[in-house]
Amino acid sequence: MAAPAAAPPSPVESNSEDSFAQEEEKDQGGEGGAAAPTRAWFPETFLFEPLVVTDASGAATVPVRVPDRLTQWRVLALAHSRSGAQAGAVTSFAGTLPTYVDPVLPPFLRAGDTVRLPVQVVNTTDKEVVAALKVDVRGAQVEDGARTVKVPARGSAVALVTVRAQGAGPVTVRASLGDTDAVVRDFDVWATGQPVVQTRGGSLAAPRTLSLVGPADAQPGSERVRLQVYPGALGVVRAELAAVERRTAGLDLAADAYALLLAGQAPELLKALGETPDAQALKALSMVAGQRVLRAARAPSVDVATRLAEAALAHPDNPVLARLGERLVGTVAKAQRPDGTCQGGEGWTLQRLLVATADCARTVRAATGTPEGKQRALAFTARSAGVFERYLPQVKDGYTAAVLLAEGAVTGSVADALRTRVRDALKPGADGTASLPVEPGMVRADGATPSEVEATAMAVLALQGDAKAPLADLGAFLLARYTPGQGWGDGQANRVGLRAALVLFREPLPAQVRVTLARDGQTVTEGTYDAKALREVLALEAAAPGSAGTHTWTVRAEPAVPGLGFSLSLAAAVPWKREEKGGLQLAVVAPKEARVGQLSDVRVQVGAPSSLPLLFQQELPAGVQVDPASLEALVATGRVTSWDVQDGALSLRLAPRAQGELMQVDFRVLPTLAGTLQAGASRLGVPGRPDLASSLPPTSWAVR
What count of other Cβ atoms lies within 10 Å of the Cβ of residue 361? Answer: 28
User: Residue 456 pLDDT more than 50?
Assistant: yes
Rounded CA separation 583/605 (Å): 14
Nearest to 112 by CA among 140, 142, 136: 140
Contact in structure between 241 and 284 (CB atoms under 8 Å): no
Mean pLDDT score, 426-446: 88
| b/e code 660-684 from CB counts within 10 Å (16+ = b) | eeebebebbbbbebbbebbbbbbbb
Determine the pLDDT at residue 35: 64
Mean pLDDT score, 167-175: 92
Classify strands 600-607 and 585-589 as parallel, antiparallel or unpaired: antiparallel
What count of other Cβ atoms lies within 10 Å of the Cβ of residue 171? Answer: 19
Determine the pLDDT at residue 2: 37
Mean pLDDT score, 184-206: 86
Half-sphere exposure of 295 (CA within 13 A, CB side): 11
3-state secondary structure of 649: strand
User: Residue 577 pLDDT more than 60?
Assistant: yes
pLDDT tens per residue across span 218-246: 998 899 999 988 766 777 787 788 877 77
Query: pLDDT band for position 187 (50/70/90)?
Result: very high
Determine the pLDDT at residue 7: 34
Whole-number mean pLDDT of the chain?
87
Please report how the helices 233-243 and 279-296 are oriented relative to each other, as an axis angle in degrees rounded to 10: 60
pLDDT tens per residue across span 471-516: 888 887 887 788 777 788 888 898 898 888 888 876 677 889 999 9
Mean pLDDT score, 445-457: 92
Give alpha helix (H) positions in 232-301. Answer: 233-243, 253-272, 279-296
Query: pLDDT band for position 116 (50/70/90)?
Result: very high
Rounded CA separation 100/304 (Å): 68
Rounded CA separation 169/116 (Å): 19
Query: How much of the chain exceeds pLDDT 70, in percent?
Result: 92
Determine the pLDDT at residue 660: 65
Q: CA angle, corner 573, sides to 567 and 574, nearest 5?
A: 130
Determine the pLDDT at residue 248: 54
Mean pLDDT score, 383-398: 94
In this structure, which amino acid lies at residue 383? R
Query: pLDDT band for position 17 (50/70/90)?
Result: very low
Determine the pLDDT at residue 656: 84
Query: pLDDT band for position 130 (50/70/90)?
Result: very high
Comparing 425 with 2, which gets the higher pLDDT?
425
Determine the pLDDT at residue 251: 59
In this structure, which amino acid lies at residue 512? Q
In this structure, which amino acid lies at residue 233? A
Rounded CA separation 475/497 (Å): 10
Half-sphere exposure of 162 (CA within 13 A, CB side): 9
Determine the pLDDT at residue 276: 82
Mean pLDDT score, 400-408: 94
CA separation, residue 98 to residues 40, 153, 184, 412 (Å):
18, 11, 18, 85
Determine the pLDDT at residue 586: 93
Determine the pLDDT at residue 32: 45
Largest CA distance in the chain: 100
Mean pLDDT score, 673-699: 90
User: Residue 69 pLDDT more than 90?
Assistant: no
3-state secondary structure of 133: strand
pLDDT tens per residue across span 563-573: 677 888 899 99
Query: pLDDT band for position 10 (50/70/90)?
Result: very low
Q: CA angle, corner 76, sides to 71 and 77, nearest 5?
A: 140
Taking only Cα atoms into account, the Rg of the chain, rounded to an integer number of angstroms, comes to 31
pLDDT tens per residue across span 620-631: 999 999 999 999
Determine the pLDDT at residue 552: 94
Nearest 10 degrees: Cα torsion 409, 415, 421, 422: 60
- What contacts 691, CB < 8 A, 6 or more positions away? 581, 582
Contact in structure between 541 and 225 (CB atoms under 8 Å): yes
- DSSP H or E stretch at residue 454: helix 452-463
- DSSP H or E stretch at residue 460: helix 452-463
Indicate the length of the chain as a whole number. 704
Query: pLDDT band for position 249 (50/70/90)?
Result: low
Burial of 563 (0-12, 13-18, 19+ CB in 10 A): buried
- DSSP H or E stretch at residue 334: helix 319-334
- What contacts 440, CB < 8 A, 6 or more positions away? none
Give alpha helix (H) positions in 426-481. Answer: 452-463, 471-480
Determine the pLDDT at residue 92: 93
Determine the pLDDT at residue 27: 46
Determine the pLDDT at residue 29: 46
- Structural domains for the chain: 1-191 (2.60.40.10), 194-231+509-574 (2.60.120.1340), 233-504 (1.50.10.20), 579-703 (2.60.40.690)
Query: pLDDT band for position 34 (50/70/90)?
Result: low
Q: For 127, which DSSP code?
A: S
User: Residue 336 pLDDT more than 60?
Assistant: yes
